[in-house]
Structure formats: C-alpha cells, structure tokens
Amino acid sequence: MIIRDVKPFPVRVGRRHQLCVKVETDEGIYGWGESGLSGREAAVIGALQHFKGFLVGRDPFHIAGIWQELYRSNYFEGGRVLTAAMSAIDIALHDIKGKALGVPVYQLLGGKQRDYIPLFATTSAPMGPKLIDDAKLLVKEGWNVIRTWMHVPEVLGPDGQPNRRVYEPRESLAVTAHWLNTLREEIGSEPVLGIDYHHRLSVAEAASFCQRLKPGTLDFLEEPIRDEAPEAYEALRRMTDVPFAIGEEFASKWQFLPYIERGITQFARVDVCNVGGLTEAMKVAGWCEAHYIDLMPHNPLGPICTAASVRMCAAAQNVAWMEIRSSPTEELRFYDTDLFPVQAKQDGPRMLIPELPGLGVELNEEAASREEFQPEGRGWHLRRRDGSVTNS
C-alpha cells in the first residue's frame, strides 16, 4: 500500500471553518484528518501541498518515521502552520492503518483504558442572570464540569450598533469576577467551574482578576495570558493559587516542555489537531502523566477532531475532561450529520467510544465541495478603545 494523494477540504460549519484532510492510498483505503489552526486555513493548505510532493508513494504504515521526516527534513523546524498540516496527515495515517488492520485507532495507541470520555460544557451567556440559569440547567442535566466566557463590555460604533471588534480587557475584570462569585454561591461547591479568558489579559490584569475571586470559586483558569513567555506564567503563578489550563495553541512537545517540567500548568489543553497529531499528543500525554498533570483536551472543531481526541482519551491514562461544543447551553452546529454522516456518538456529558475500525468518521465530500472556500480575512481581530491592537 502506498499514499496516492493528499486532499484538503476546507468547509464552513456553523460560525467557523474546519480544514479536513483526506489521505488516499492505491488500495482504496483512505484516512481523514483535520488541522486545528483556525483562521489560517489557506496557509495550512499551502503546507499540505508542499508535503504532498514527497508523501505520494510512501508507505502510510510508517507513521512515526513520516512524522519525523515532515518535521526534521528541512533546515527550519516545525512552526504552527507546518505542525497543523502534520497533525492532519498524522491523524489520517492512523485512520488508514486502523481501517487496514480492522481495529479502532485506540488499539494502535496501546488499547482502551476507559469505557467513555467525560466531557465539559461551555456557556457563552453574558455575565448576569442568564449565566446562572445556564449553569443550573447544565447541573440539572448531569453536567458537573462547566466553563464560562469572560464579560465582554458592549462598545457602540458610530452607527449606534455594537462594535464587536473593540475589547478592553481591564473593563471585564470586576464584572466577570462578581458574577463568578455569585455563580459559585448559586450552584454550590460540587460542580467544577472554570473560565476561558482566551489569552486576552496581561499578567497584571490576570492577577487583578484572581484577587477579586473568593477562595474556592474557580477550579481552573484557562489561557489567561499569551504563552510565548513561560516566565510570565510563572510570575502569575506566584500571584494566585487558581489552577491553570494551558496548551491549546501549542504546536509540539517542545512548547509543552517548560509548562510541564516547571509545574506551570495543572491541566494540559493538548489539541491533537495542532500539536502534531496522535503521534505527538500521546508523547505529551505520557510526559504529563509522569508529572501528575491531567489532560483537558482542546476540541473546538468538529467530528474529525472529536474522533481523534476520543481515541487519544481512550488510550491515555491521565484524562480529566474533554471539551465538546454541543451541550444544553451551546449548540454550534459543528457536528452536522449531513456533512459528517458517520461520527462519534455523544451521551449527554460523556462521549461514547466507537468500535469502528480507524477513526470511525466520514465526510460527505459532495456536500463539502458545494461552497467555494473563502479565507477568513479579519476574523477575530480586536482593538482597544484607543485603536491599538489587542489579543483575540
């Protein structure tokens, strides 16, 4: 068996693109993978075209060797665009191998360690009574791990309409902390409660936010600041005892290195579609296990990313909860059954582990090809009130 083709399928699902990738072989067996570098799909497609030049004709069973060649066989190593393309290829090769051998992908990773994957839900309700209602609904429906979004102050444009591209981080701190304190009082101490600040804060702002929280309010603070400087996170670590959930944008085990070895993160937000696929994700999982750090996989895309994340979570020992974007408080249509007629099945706050060979996911190529791909342009580009650029 040899690789015959690598085909990108950038599809619009709900409010975002999913860059699905098909690797075909000469024996008719194919595999599906996905890139996680949202908003940079055109760049990843270029990397896939580059990789295709020397993947065609290769044995798809040589997954680890292909990973190393994709990463090391040029002077300039890795990088998020290249590793996102590598992730999609690596996942697809696991899909091919599982199908060819007639086994689920988790069998290629050491076998199944659990019967289902625990999930966490997200509410994007604005800070206020609706947030309390959403959280109570989730608890009632059996979800005991809840993530919220930060307060987004409303800024009106010249036309009097909300300008969603203006964001002042410091203006969100007091309101967000107040409602999180209230939320904890309303739902009690048992549910796990976290917030995603989407790396929009500085160290000082994140510390100020944490100081406004009552003890025991938060079980995790996700991505409060950008990740380029581990020392900045260490400074923040000294200012708060709230556990951190970090790593969704990491593009290799090397980016995880300081956060694991120096005890900076308490939950590893590994993204199998960004970090380098299942090959790299399992290395990060084992490294985290050695340091008693649980995985909290980033899974914001759709059925292919979910299928790969489920297989990783099935085989890894140290899994806390996996992200899912389908719950009683959030339905983003990322799991379109017309576009993805075969996909993993969700049972409320847990994901079942399919026994189908490979990843157990299929993309309707005809449906995926109906719309022409339009790169996202400005996307989430945010500015402060004074016009300067801020983190998105």
Same domain, 184 and 287: yes
- The pLDDT tens digits of the residues spanning 331-342 come to 777 888 899 999
With respect to residue 233, please indicate whether it lies within any of the assigned structural domains: yes
The pLDDT of residue 230 is 97
C-alpha pair distances (Å), 81 with each of 27, 40, 77, 191, 339: 30, 8, 11, 37, 25
- Structural domain includes residue 55: yes
Tell whether 164 and 188 lie within a shared domain. yes
What pLDDT, on the 0 to 100 scale, is given for residue 379? 63
State the SS3 of the chain: CCEEEEEEEEEEECCEEEEEEEEEECCCCEEEEEECCCCCHHHHHHHHHHHHHHHCCCCCCCHHHHHHHHHHCCCCCCCHHHHHHHHHHHHHHHHHHHHHHCCEHHHHCCCCCCCEEEEEEEECCCCCHHHHHHHHHHHHCCCCEEEEECCCCCCECCCCCECCCECCHHHHHHHHHHHHHHHHHHHCCCCEEEEECCCCCCHHHHHHHHHCCCCCCCCEEECCCCCCCHHHHHHHHCCCCCCEEECCCCCCHHHHHHHHHCCCCCEECCCCCCCCHHHHHHHHHHHHHHCCCEECCCCCCCHHHHHHHHHHHHHCCCECCEECCEECCEECCCCCCCCCCECCCEECCEEECCCCCECCCECCHHHHCCCCCCCCCCCCCEECCCCCEECC
- Statement to judge: residues 91 and 144 lie in one domain: no
Which range, of 77-86, 185-194, 380-389, averages the lowest pLDDT? 380-389
| Residue 367 domain-assigned (yes or no) | no
Whether residues 209 and 311 share a domain: the answer is: yes
Residue that finishes a domain, picked among 107, 126, 157 = 107
| In the predicted structure, residue 74 carries a pLDDT above the cut 90 | no
Domain boundary among 42, 77, 107: 107
7, 146: one domain: no
Q: Write down which residue in 53, 86, 107 finishes a domain.
A: 107
Verify that 196 and 320 share a domain, yes or no: yes
Q: Which residues of 311-321 are buried (b: 16+ CB within 10 A; e: fewer)?
A: bbbbbbebbbb
Task: Tell me the torsion sign for CA atoms 52, 53, 55, 56.
Answer: positive
Residues of the domain holding 59: 3-107
Here the tokens at position 107 are: 């069998």
Q: Give the percent of the chain with pLDDT over 90.
A: 85
- Kindly tell me if the per-residue pLDDT of 286 is higher than 70: yes
State the Rg of the chain over Cα.
21
- Residue recorded with tokens 């967000």: 176
Residue that wins the pLDDT comparison between 230 and 376: 230
CATH of the domain at 313: 3.20.20.120
Rounded alpha-carbon distances, angstroms, from residue 309 to 91, 243, 270, 301, 353:
10, 23, 9, 11, 11
Residues 6+ away with beta carbon under 8 Å from 199: 223, 224, 225, 226, 227, 249, 391
**pLDDT-derived band of residue 359, with 50, 70 and 90 as boundaries?**
very high
- If pLDDT is split at 50, 70 and 90, which confidence band does 371 have? confident
pLDDT at 332: 75
Number of C-beta neighbours around residue 139 at 10 A: 17
User: Per residue in 90-148, pLDDT tens?
Assistant: 999 999 999 999 999 999 999 999 999 999 999 999 999 999 999 999 999 999 999 99
* CATH for 86: 3.30.390.10
37 with 143, same domain: the answer is no
Residues 83 and 124 in one domain: no
Q: What is the pLDDT of residue 297?
A: 98
| C-beta atoms surrounding 327 within 10 Å | 22
Strands 30-35 and 16-25: antiparallel
**Per-residue confidence (pLDDT) for residue 25, from 0 to 100:** 98
Overall number of domains in the chain: 2
Instruction: Say yes or no to pLDDT of 72 above 90.
Output: yes
Which pair of structure tokens corresponds to residue 154? 């409303």
In a domain, 384, yes or no: no
Residue 314 covered by a domain? yes
Q: Has residue 380 got a pLDDT over 90?
A: no
Q: What digits encode the pLDDT tens for the residues 230-259?
A: 999 999 999 999 999 999 999 999 999 999
pLDDT tier at 355 (50, 70, 90 boundaries)?
A: very high
Q: What is the pLDDT of residue 378?
A: 58
Within this chain, do residues 43 and 190 fall inside the same structural domain, yes or no?
no
Check whether residue 66 and residue 141 sit in a common domain.
no
pLDDT of residue 377: 62
Q: How far, in Å, CA of 161 to CA of 176, rounded?
A: 23
Tell me the residue type at 384. Answer: R
Asked whether residue 146 falls in the same domain as residue 265, the answer is: yes
Burial class (CB in 10 A: 0-12, 13-18, 19+), 39: middle
Domain-embedded: residue 389? no
Query: Which residue carries 């402060």 as its tokens?
Result: 384
- Average pLDDT score over residue span 317-342: 92
Greater confidence, 163 or 51? 51
Kindly state whether residue 295 falls inside one of the protein's structural domains. yes
Q: What angle do CA 385, 391, 392 make, to 5 degrees?
A: 100
The reported pLDDT for the residue numbered 372 is: 79
Q: Is 309's pLDDT higher than 80?
A: yes
Q: Is residue 57 included in any domain, yes or no?
A: yes
Same domain as 126, residue 97: no
Q: Would you tell me the crossing angle of helices 230-237 and 203-211 to the nearest 10 degrees?
A: 20
pLDDT in tens, 146-198: 999 999 988 877 777 778 888 999 999 999 999 999 999 999 999 999 999 99
